[in-house]
Amino acid sequence: MEDILLTGNIKFVTNAMIAHFDKSQRIILCGDTQGRKYKNPKVVTYSYHEYDDEYRGIYKSYNIDTVVQFSKVLDGQKRMYDEMENLENAMYCSKMGGANTFIYITSNDYLDGPDTTRSRLLHSCEDICRRFSEDSGMKVIILRVPYLFSVELYDCTLSRIIRKGIAEKSVELSGNGETETDFLSDEDIGELLSRIIDEPSGGYHATNIGGGNKICFAKLGEILKTELNVSEIKYDNYKEAVPGMYDDGQIRLSYGWFAQVDMKEALPDIISVIDSDIRAERKKKRQFTDTQSLRAGTAAVLEMIFLFAVSELLSYFTSGFYRMDYVDFRLLFVVIMGTIHGTRAGITASVLAGIGYFSHSLIGTDWQIIFFNIENWLPFVSYFLCGSIVGHIRDKNKEYISFSDEQQKILEKKYIFLSELYARTLENKEDYSRQIVSYEDSFGKIYRVVCRLNSTVTDKVFYEAVNAMEEILEVKSVAIYSIAADSRFARLNVCSREINDSLAKSVDLQQLPQIYTSFKENHSWYNAEALADYPAYAAPVMRDGSLIGAIFLWEAASDDMKMDYYNKFNIMCGLVKDALVRAIEYNEREEGMQMKAGTRFLKPEYFENIIEMKERLGKDGMSDYMLLRINTGNMNLGQVSEVVSHSIRNTDVLGLRKDNITYLLLNQADENNFMKVNNRLKPKGISLERV
C-alpha cells in the first residue's frame, strides 16, 4: 500500500480535501494540525517539521510514494520565513526516503508582478524544484494556485474577511476595487491531487491552476456587503501577495481536471458556519465572564464573612488586654476589604463593623446611651470614612490601570500601523529607486529613445516616436498630428496600428475647446473629467511660439490617469517635440539643396528616403499614403510645381525618382482624396496616375 505524506503548511488540509483520496491510501499529516480532527481513519498526524530529526524517521516507518508540500505563502500569506530551507529539507528527505513524486503547492501572486525580494525568493524555490528534478530524476510538480476557500478553513483569507465583517460591520479587502483575483475550493484541489497521485506525469512540470471564480475586489465587496449586511467596504491598496487569475490549461489536458465549486454558491454556507462559530465563541465568552464574575463575587463574600468573623473574635478575646486597647480589628477589617475589593466592599465592611461594634457595646450598656452619646459615633464615622476612602482609592487606581492598558493597546495599534506604513514606504522607495536608476526603466530607455529619434527625416521621427511612446507608456493609441499656421485643423501624420482604421484623418481643435485652450498656453492636457470624444492625454508641439503639431494619447487605462503617468507622458512628448522641431529646421535649412532649383520637387535621393519610410509605415499599419505619377503634358518642371503645389496639402510631397519622372505622395490619403486632387488638376492640364 502506497502512503501519501502531506507536509508544510498543512492547516489548509481539510476533510473535504482528503475525502477525494483513494480509501486504500494512508495519509500522513506532518506539521501543525492545530488540534483539527479528521474523519478518515487512515489519517495519521505528527507535529514534526521539515527541519526536525524525527521528520526523517517518518520515511522509515511508512512506505511513502508521494510527498505534497504546502507552501507558507498559500492564500496570500505574506510571511515566508525559512520557506526555501524547508522546501530543500523536504525534497532531500523525500529523495532519501525513496519517494517517487514530489508536489509543491504555492501561490501565484508573484507571477507578472514587480521585481521584489518576495518574487525572487519564490522564483528561486521553483528553480530549486527544477534542479532537484533534474539531479534526482524524481517527478516534481509545481501547482501555482489562487486564494483557497472552504467551509472548514477558518484561517483562510476569505474566512478572515467574513469573520471581521461580521464582528466589525465593515469589509476590508486588499488592493483596490479593480484588482482581480480568483478563488479555489479545497474540494477541487483535493480532486486534482488524487488524479495527479494516481497518474503522475514524469519529469518537472510547473503549471498555473485556475479556481474558476475570477472576480474583482469591488464585486466581491458588494457581494459580501449584501450577504453580511455591512455598511462599509475598505481597501488597503496593498497589492503585494494578492493572487490573480492564471490558468494555462495544462492540467485539464493532462488530467481532465477543471474547477467545479462556485465560490458564490458556497458563500452562504461559509458565512453560516462562521456566524455560528462566532455566536458559540461569544456565548462561551459570556458564560466564562459570568462564571468568573460569580466566582469573584462568591470569593469576595466568603472573604468578607471570614474576615468579619476573625475581627469579631479578636475583638472579643482581646477586650480585656490593656495593651490591645489601641488596636481596632474592625477598622483593620474595613481597610483590608476596601483595599482588596473597592468602594462597595469597603462600605459593606463598614456596615458590618458598625453592627459588630454596636452589638459589643450593648453588653452592659443601654442602647440609648450609645445612640445619644456623640462620642460613641466616632467609631462608626471612622469605619465608613476609611471604607469609602480606601475603596475609592482602590477603584481609582484600577480605572487608571485599565485606562493605561487601553492607551497601551491604542499605541500598539498605532505602532503596528506606522510600522506597516514605514514598510510600504520603503517598498515604494525601492520601486522608485528601481525606476530611476534601472537601465531598463529610466536612463537606458531615455537614451535609446533619444538615439532612435535622432534623424533628419521627419517621417522616420514620426515612426520612431510612435514606437517609443507605445513601448514606454505601454499603450497602443498614440497619434501625431501636424497643424498649419493659423489653422484649427490637426492633420494626422502617423498613429498606432490598432487605431489607424478607426481614427479620423483630421481633428477640429475648436471641437475640443479644453485642449485648444491648453495648447494656446503651451500646456499639456489630460482628461481628468473623463470627457467623451476627448483623448486621455494631449500635448502641443510648439516652434517659436507657434503651434505646429500635436501628440494625442487617445486611450489609457484607469490606473494610468495619475500624476506619475502624466509626467512620463510629458517627458516622452518633450523628446518627440525636440526631435520633430530639429528635423523640420534641418529640412528648411537644407531645402535649397534637397529640391530641384526653382521647384518644389525633391531630388531622387531625398524623395526615395521618404518613400522608403512611407512604405515602412504602411506595412506596419501606422499610416496610409498614395504614390501617384504626374502626367505633365507639355509643362516644364517649374510650371508643374507651381500648379500642383496650390492644389495639395502641406503634408503632401512632390518629388522625382531615379527614373526622373515626377511623382506626388499623398499622406494619409484614400481613394476619395485621390479623386479630389485629380479633379482639381485636370482642368489645368495635369493628370494623376496610381503607381
Q: List pLDDT tens digits, range 201-217.
A: 678 889 999 998 999 98
The answer to whether position 369 is within a domain reads no
Confidence of residue 435 (pLDDT cuts 50, 70, 90): low
Higher local confidence (pLDDT), 373 or 128: 128
pLDDT at 583 over 60: yes
The sign of the torsion formed by the CA atoms of 620, 624, 629, 632 equals negative
Q: The C-alpha cell of 75 is what?
A: 492564500
pLDDT at 427 over 70: no
Integer angstrom CA distances of residue 342 from 331, 334, 347:
15, 11, 9
Structural domain that includes position 532: 443-589
Statement to judge: residues 84 and 129 lie in one domain = yes
Strands 101-107 and 64-70: parallel
Q: How many helices (H) and strands (E) does the chain have?
A: 21, 23
Helix (H) or strand (E) holding 207, with range, is strand 204-208
Tell me the percentage of the chain whose pLDDT exceeds 90: 12
Q: The C-alpha cell of 361 is what?
A: 457595646
Q: List pLDDT tens digits, range 250-299.
A: 888 888 898 999 999 999 898 888 888 878 777 777 777 777 777 877 88
CA distance 591 to 510: 33
Q: List pLDDT tens digits, range 216-240.
A: 988 988 888 888 888 888 887 777 7
- Other CB atoms within 10 Å distance of the CB of residue 91: 24
Confidence of residue 2 (pLDDT cuts 50, 70, 90): confident
Confidence of residue 440 (pLDDT cuts 50, 70, 90): very low
The answer to whether position 383 is within a domain reads no
Note the pLDDT of residue 586: 82
Q: Please state which of the ranges 106-120, 322-336, 357-371, 553-567 shows the lowest mean pLDDT.
A: 357-371
Integer angstrom CA distances of residue 136 from 101, 129, 131, 327, 669:
11, 10, 8, 88, 65
Is residue 129 a contact partner of residue 135, using CB atoms and an 8 Å limit? no
The answer to whether position 234 is within a domain reads no
Note the pLDDT of residue 368: 67
Q: List pLDDT tens digits, range 537-549.
A: 999 999 888 898 9
Residue 50 backbone zone (phi > 0: left; psi -120 to 50: alpha; other: beta): alpha
Confidence of residue 428 (pLDDT cuts 50, 70, 90): low
Is residue 456 a contact partner of residue 583, using CB atoms and an 8 Å limit? yes
pLDDT at 1 over 60: no
Q: What values do phi and psi take at 161, rounded to 5?
A: -60, -45
Q: Which of 339, 263, 274, 330 has the alpha carbon at shortest distance from 300?
A: 339
Q: List pLDDT tens digits, range 305-328.
A: 888 888 888 887 777 666 666 677
The predicted model gives 95-111 an average pLDDT of: 90
pLDDT at 438 over 50: no
Higher local confidence (pLDDT), 314 or 94: 94
Note the pLDDT of residue 432: 62
Note the pLDDT of residue 321: 66
Statement to judge: residues 250 and 142 lie in one domain = yes
Note the pLDDT of residue 424: 67
Coil, helix or strand for 601?
Answer: coil
Helix (H) or strand (E) holding 120, with range, is helix 117-136
pLDDT at 132 over 60: yes
Is residue 21 a contact partner of residue 44, using CB atoms and an 8 Å limit? no
pLDDT at 85 over 70: yes
CA distance 618 to 626: 10
Note the pLDDT of residue 441: 47
Note the pLDDT of residue 207: 92
Q: What values do phi and psi take at 458, rounded to 5?
A: -60, -45
**Residue 100 sits in a domain of what CATH number?**
3.40.50.720
Statement to judge: residues 621 and 578 lie in one domain = no
In one-letter notation, the amino acid at residue 204 is Y
Q: List pLDDT tens digits, range 152-198.
A: 887 888 988 888 888 888 888 887 888 889 999 999 999 999 998 88
Q: List pLDDT tens digits, range 614-666.
A: 888 888 888 888 888 888 777 888 888 888 888 787 778 888 888 888 888 88
- Other CB atoms within 10 Å distance of the CB of residue 168: 12
Note the pLDDT of residue 618: 82
Statement to judge: residues 555 and 645 lie in one domain = no
Task: Mark 23-50 as b/e (b = at least 16 C-beta within 10 Å).
Answer: eebbbbbbbebeeeebeeebbbbbebbb
Detail the DSSP E strand segments found in 531-594: 537-543, 546-553
Statement to judge: residues 90 and 125 lie in one domain = yes
Statement to judge: residues 583 and 601 lie in one domain = no
Which of 589, 604, 621 is at the close of a domain? 589
The answer to whether position 231 is within a domain reads no
Statement to judge: residues 529 and 604 lie in one domain = no
pTM score, two decimals? 0.50
Coil, helix or strand for 329?
Answer: helix
**Residue 542 sits in a domain of what CATH number?**
3.30.450.40
CA distance 80 to 64: 27
Q: DSSP letters of 87-114?
A: HHHHHHHHHHTT-SEEEEEEESTTTTS-
Helix (H) or strand (E) holding 548, with range, is strand 546-553
Q: The C-alpha cell of 254 is what?
A: 493532462
Statement to judge: residues 535 and 668 lie in one domain = no
pLDDT at 34 over 70: no
The answer to whether position 172 is within a domain reads no
Statement to judge: residues 478 and 491 lie in one domain = yes
Which of 565, 589, 613 is at the close of a domain? 589
The answer to whether position 600 is within a domain reads yes
Which of 551, 567, 589 is at the close of a domain? 589
**Number of separate domains in the chain:** 3
Q: DSSP letters of 612-673?
A: HHHHHHHHTTS--EEEEEEE-TT--HHHHHHHHHTTS-TT-EEEE-TT--EEEEEET--HHH
CA distance 13 to 72: 13
In one-letter notation, the amino acid at residue 65 is D
Helix (H) or strand (E) holding 301, with range, is helix 263-317
Coil, helix or strand for 143?
Answer: strand
Note the pLDDT of residue 439: 42
Q: The C-alpha cell of 269 is what?
A: 454556507
Detail the DSSP E strand segments found in 305-369: none
CA distance 104 to 156: 19
The answer to whether position 412 is within a domain reads no
The predicted model gives 468-472 an average pLDDT of: 86
Q: List pLDDT tens digits, range 497-515.
A: 888 888 888 899 889 989 9
Helix (H) or strand (E) holding 118, with range, is helix 117-136
The answer to whether position 545 is within a domain reads yes
Confidence of residue 437 (pLDDT cuts 50, 70, 90): very low
Statement to judge: residues 250 and 101 lie in one domain = yes
Statement to judge: residues 617 and 652 lie in one domain = yes
Statement to judge: residues 521 and 571 lie in one domain = yes
Q: Which residues pair with 1 in a beta bridge?
A: none
CA distance 85 to 81: 9
**Residue 640 sits in a domain of what CATH number?**
3.30.70.270
